[in-house]
Amino acid sequence: MNMLYIPHVPNLSVVNRVYEFAKNTDSYFLFWEMDNSSLKTKISSQLKSLHGKIIGKKVQIPLLFKPEKTAAKINTFNLNKLIKRLDIKIVVNANALLFDVKRIKTPVIYDLVDDHLEVNGDIGLTKSRVEKIKQDISNAKGVVCTTTFLEDKIKHLNNRSTTIENGVYVEKFRNAVSLKKKLGLENKKVFGYIGGVEPWTGIDKACENYAKIKTRDNAMIVVGDSKSLFFNNLKKLYKNDILFCGAVSPDEVGNYFKTIDVGLIPFKLNFFTNNAFPIKALEYGLAGAAVISTPLKYLKTKKFNFITFCNIEKFHECMRQSLYNDNSFDFGKYDWKVLSKKYIDFVSGVL
């Protein structure tokens, strides 16, 4: 089945749900330049996205970003040219804004990565954008959701749906090695956060809580980076307390997860995070770490024995506890290869 996957965001330096499905189904995937860290870099990256090329399964087409309605029409026109050129039979679209699903000239599966169904100023979800997303979902041949909570929310828009949660690379994490010695953290209890470092992630609160319990016997690392003022100020504030490792290559990420004794998920609580299933919850657990998370509603339903839930204000109290991962959980059903087969089975079933 000749498929093209369109991601929510085109990040190749981290585990990207849609790209993982593309990789494991030997499919084409769309990529474009995106850097919103400053006005200058934003303009530069958008200019770079006006070019098209194909390198193996990685595909770029000329893309516009503004004005949104006109851009979506022009982008869809260019997408249809690509579909014809590569003889694409199915498009999997996880992007909320760049394309008009109704005008795509091949069946579309909408991959609902996050809760984009309600207005949320923190992530740029305006009323008009939410309405566009709902229309795209209604016009899709089928919808794949990351959580059952999201699937329940779109049933009235499209009843050809399923839930396929996020996954992990089981074998890759089994082969990961701890970097405690390399980082000078031997014989320390290591708290860690790996992932996005935007304000909604609560990374600032996680750092604040760790500073309250810091001793010579423990440490905290943060893996991830941003050029934003928010994160740069955070690094300056805690430069003497926390090891900020920056962004690391995908091949190295597993080793950083393996270095952590207690993984942190300090996300702010709202409909967006409550309905999400963070990939890092699985990655921390598979690497052998215990996890402390804010009480995210969907994540709580999973009843993972390696996760302790507490409000962000009490993270420091949980950090003082002796938390362990007994490694008894079977992560096999969450392997990306297993989930990719489920994806293909669903697509075949709705065609």
pLDDT-based confidence at residue 11 (cuts at 50, 70, 90): confident
Percent of the chain with pLDDT over 70: 95
Task: Give dist(CA 151, CA 145) in Å, integer.
Answer: 6
Residues 219 and 117 in one domain: no
Residues 89/109, Cβ–Cβ less than 8 Å: no
Task: Give dist(CA 200, CA 238) in Å, integer.
Answer: 19
What is the arithmetic mean of pLDDT over 171-179? 92
In 3D space, the residue among 319, 318, 322, 338 whose CA is nearest the CA of residue 330 turns out to be 338
Residues 42 and 178 in one domain: no
Structural domain count of the chain: 2
Residues 118 and 181 in one domain: no
User: For 161, phi and psi rounded to 5 degrees?
Assistant: -135, 165
pLDDT tens-digit map of 32-74 = 976 655 555 555 655 666 677 899 999 999 998 889 999 999 9
Residues 163 and 275 in one domain: no
Residues 225 and 159 in one domain: no
Looking at residue 272, its amino acid is F
Provide the pLDDT for residue 15. Answer: 85
**CATH number of the domain bearing residue 251:** 3.40.50.2000
Residues 124 and 230 in one domain: no
In order of 135, 139, 225, the CA distances from 103 in angstroms are 12, 9, 37
pLDDT-based confidence at residue 270 (cuts at 50, 70, 90): very high
Residues 95 and 181 in one domain: no
Residues 230 and 307 in one domain: yes
pLDDT-based confidence at residue 1 (cuts at 50, 70, 90): confident
- What's the farthest any 2 CA atoms get from each other in the chain? 61
Residues 177 and 89 in one domain: no
Residues 84 and 129 in one domain: yes
Residues 139 and 186 in one domain: no
Provide the pLDDT for residue 125. Answer: 86
**Residue ranges making up the domain that contains 260:** 170-331
Residues 315/266, Cβ–Cβ less than 8 Å: yes
Provide the pLDDT for residue 276. Answer: 94
Tokens of 336: 């990306």
What is the arithmetic mean of pLDDT over 93-121? 94
Residues 158 and 225 in one domain: no
- Under DSSP, the state recorded for 120 is B
pLDDT tens-digit map of 112-153 = 999 999 988 877 889 999 999 999 999 999 999 999 999 999
